Structure 1
Amino acid sequence: MSGRGNCYDNSLVETLFKTIKSELIWPVTWQSRKQVENAIARYIGGFYKPFKRH
């Protein structure tokens, strides 16, 4: 992060949001917002393991 006003600071987050939208949100017709929230939570939970081996 180089600081205030740099357009490249947010590029990783924007890429993540675009990936979630293109792979998960846009291809499906959702019935409710709760379904979308649960699907996003499962998608992110599957990507990042909640438990680390020690």
Structure 2
Amino acid sequence: MSGKGYCYNNALAESFFHSLKVECIYDYVFSDRAQAKTIIFEYIEVYYNKQRLHSSIGYKTPARFEQLCA
């Protein structure tokens, strides 16, 4: 492990949070915490896992990849 702030220690999480910020959070001005939780939940569960294609798993959605591997 290297020092604090070295993104390569946890590249998968860093990549996910970058996608979340760029594709979801920066597009909204949330009126309250409940709205933020709802929009972020929908982004992850509806779009990121079931519609967004991921190049690292052969341009499949995570939900589809999981079905194929089960």
Q: Normalising by structure 1, what TM-score?
A: 0.67
Please provide the CA RMSD for this pair: 2.0
Q: Which residue of 2 aligns with 1:27?
A: 27
Q: What residue ranges of structure 1 are gaps of 5+ in the alignment?
A: none
Query: Could you report, residue by residue, the CA deviation over 1:1-52 in whole angstroms, capped at 9, with x for unpaired residues?
Result: xxxx155331111110111111111121110111111111111111334xx6
Paired amino acid for 1:24? C
More helix by share: 2
- Identity across aligned pairs (percent)? 28
Q: Which has the higher contact order (CA 8 A, sep 6+)?
A: 1
Q: What residue ranges of structure 2 are gaps of 5+ in the alignment?
A: 50-62
Task: Tell me the number of residue pairs that the alignment of Structure 1 and Structure 2 aligns.
Answer: 48
